[in-house]
Amino acid sequence: MSHAPASQMDSAPVSMSASAARRLSKILGADEGAALRISVKGGGCSGFQYAFDIEKARAEDDLVIERDGAVILVDPVSLEYMKGSEVDFVDDLMGQSFKVKNPNAVASCGCGVSFTV
């Protein structure tokens, strides 16, 4: 996606920040074909929570988000909860972590891991 025109990148169902791409590239390193899978699961203090896993398996219907060699996978069910989101990597006083900036979330917990739609 990094080579797509700006209009196509703006309309992507889920995007990845430059910061997330840099950090993910460092984490995955030389693990050829590995990607970060983000999924939405029931639970957490706000109703739903994000799960982050490193894996190589890709389903035919996964959304594949690529930027600067970093790859994120999202399954179709999770995508329904994540449309319009941006995956970012933050390094602040609370620590380092991947964060999903989800415009569909009406409430979230303090750490940003769980949310309500």
**Res 54: pLDDT:** 94
* Helix or strand holding residue 56 (H, E): none
Q: Give CA–CA dist 115/117, Å, rounded.
A: 7
Question: Maximum CA pair distance of the chain?
Answer: 39
What tokens were used for 65?
């988000």
Q: Which domains does the chain have, with CATH numbers?
A: 6-116 (2.60.300.12)
Residue 105 has pLDDT above 70, yes or no: yes
Residue 37 has pLDDT above 70, yes or no: yes
**Residue of higher predicted confidence among 11 and 66:** 66
Q: Give CA–CA dist 16/23, Å, rounded.
A: 11
Instruction: Please provide the DSSP assignment of 85-114 as one string.
Output: EEEEEEEETTEEEEEEE-TT-SEE-TTSSE
**Res 44: pLDDT:** 63
Residue position matching structure tokens 């594949």 = 64
* pTM of the predicted model over 0.85: no
